Amino acid sequence: MSDKNDRQELTAEEQEKLLEKYDPDAQTRNLSGYAAKVVFFMLIAFSLFQLYTGIFGQLTAYLQRTIHLGFALTLIFLLFPARKGGNKTKIAWYDYILVGLTVVVCGYWPVYYDTLVQQIGSITSAQAVIGGLAILLVIEATRRAIGLPITIIAVVFMVYALFGPYMPGMLIHKGLSLEQFIQSMFFTTDGILGTPLQVSSTYIFLFLLFGAFLVQTGVGNYFNDLAISLAGRRTGGPAKVAIFSSALQGTISGSSVANTVTTGSYTIPLMKRLGYHRNFAGAVEAASSTGGQIMPPIMGAAAFLMIEFAGVPYWEIAKAATIPAILYFSGIWIMTHLEAKKQGLLGLPKEEIPKKMEVLKKIHLLLPIIVIVVLLFQGFSIERTALLGILSTIIVSLFRKDTRITPAKFMLALTSGARTALGVAAATACAGIIVGVVTKTGLGLKLGNSLVSMAAAITSTPTLLLLLTLFFTMIASIILGMGSPTTANYIITSTIALPAILALNDQLEVAIPVLAAHMFVFYFGIVADITPPVALAAFAATGISKGEPIRTGINASKLAIAAFIIPYMFVFQPQLLMIDTTIPEVSWILVTSIIGMISIGAGLIGFWYRKLHWIERILTVSTGLLLIYPEANTDIFGFIAFGIMLALQIFWKRGNTGKGAGKAVGEAN
């Protein structure tokens, strides 16, 4: 079927409508007149404040975080209507009241800072009102900017904290009085003003600003051109373009949905026109865009939270994420290639491929990304790296007139960077409530022990106990990650699901590395974006492909199979994360794992050099698992099995040339 949607990419207006439908962060007002000017100058001021403190040094913790929060909440109430169908051209009267309350609440700390830091004991009645309002404002702002999932979780945790004595079974605790709860949530760094908001007000904002400046150089379009020039003419070219461009786009994007809509508006129509089924085309883009969140160096900004939560240096996190990310995208690449072979799909015609010299003329746009990787490797602080990344982007943009960041583009980068940060600030503030409740009540350890107890009720064998605990933690992480942005996603899963894995360390001969446990819950929280029934990225893709959401989600989950397998592997064998290993060992692991992904891909697609029988599909998937698992014996057995199956496939190919081969391909199709 060929129609307008197959031939043309989405217009900017269509992209905006699609984002508004699936991404709460995009459901903002379109203001004009005086209100638009106020919002514009506030966005500029927000970015300038963050740049100033990044260059000249952060303020004290409470001041830095409350000012950051004040900017974010004020702008959210001005830009986001109270309900989805609300007036998007005018600010409601009650939002002005909420803005006024935000100024009072977040201005309380700067005005009474000396008094508050010296205050010992309980809070006053006025402070209780201020703190209570702060909690309610954060909850409402999060509901508007992020959506209901994280908001509901936060409210449930608040109820749990206040009504502890009435909780059933192991969930019971002595409970917090309303005064104690408010004090811990807003007048300490254990709640709203905790570590998540600290990371948002420092590292994350500056890197989001770096991404905004990078976008103003036209790097997004360049990613598409580069991907087409490298992969466009290959078998199933548009699908490989989607994978390549989404991986690149993921380095500057913090949203699976935004990545899907941005790159998918171009790649999905191309895939459909080539011959890919609409459900498969949408799945390729959704899986690839979701993978952008696990792609170093930025990893959807979650890497910077992991520094604080896992207590691991940034470079160790980026290094650990490298092999899993390579395997993730290799798996999608392999399966789209085999699907194209199975369907007899070719690449794009030569006339649709950008000229290589034109693409090479803009290769300088990639330099800022290289700069931040090198600086982080050299041990520069994260703030300094982000600032130098912004500076290098501005300098690099001057190389060509069409990439130059003009004063107008400079201002646009400041405003768009601040807009992007609003959802992150709200999510991290709200997640601080969740983290605070877990800290005060010990809920994380209780939930962790409950998952371990469920596994222990089934088996007492250490290996099986670990496997079952990981499985239960995976389910919990996927459920908790549904509908949440990357940063909030990781905060929630690492707070609630992670303790289950670490609780097992006393029962295992070899302890699970902390980073491996964090990466496990991070991965499964991320793949919630393509896991039915929620699968927001897959749903967004169907807005372009016109496919079926659930089928698209199932296909995306199949394509992203590496994300469901690799986390188990690196918990059992941390060498996959380059922990306590050598370069030769890493090289061997990478080679065997990619070969393993070829075998798994063939089994899942059901085609290699020919259509595979169901028994062959089971054998190829099993062989792939043996090769991915980094252990000598499994590698040997895996290589033998892979060699036998490959030889049989090649023998079949040589023995079925001419008409016979044509007939077989027809049968496979």
Q: Which residue has the tokens 């404002």?
A: 137
- pLDDT beyond 80 at 25: no
Mean pLDDT of the chain: 87
Residues with Cβ within 8 Å of 311's Cβ and at least 6 positions away in sequence, in order, are 514
The mean pLDDT of 499-517, rounded to a whole number, is: 85
Whether the per-residue pLDDT at 4 is higher than 60: the answer is no
> How far apart, in whole angstroms, are the C-alpha atoms of residue 148 and residue 142?
8
Length of the chain: 669
Give me the amino acid identity at 467.
L
pLDDT at position 664 is: 36
Could you state, in order of their start, the residue ranges of all structural domains in the chain? Answer: 582-651
User: How does residue 9 score in pLDDT terms, banded at 50, 70 and 90?
Assistant: low
- pLDDT at 94 exceeding the cut of 90: yes
pLDDT digit string, tens, across residues 646-664: 888 888 766 665 444 344 3
Across the range 197-225, mean pLDDT stands at 88
Please determine, for residue 518, whether its predicted confidence score (pLDDT) is greater than 80: yes
CA distances in angstroms from 560 to 331, 360, 473, 607, 653, listed in the order given: 7, 31, 19, 17, 28
For the stretch 317-373, pLDDT in tens is 988 999 999 999 999 999 998 988 888 887 778 877 888 888 888 888 889 988 988
List Cα–Cα distances, 546 to 1, 375, 527, 528, 606, in angstroms: 12, 43, 22, 21, 25
**Percent residues over pLDDT 90 in the chain:** 43
pLDDT confidence of residue 660: 42
Q: Is the dihedral of CA 425, 430, 431, 437 positive or negative?
A: positive
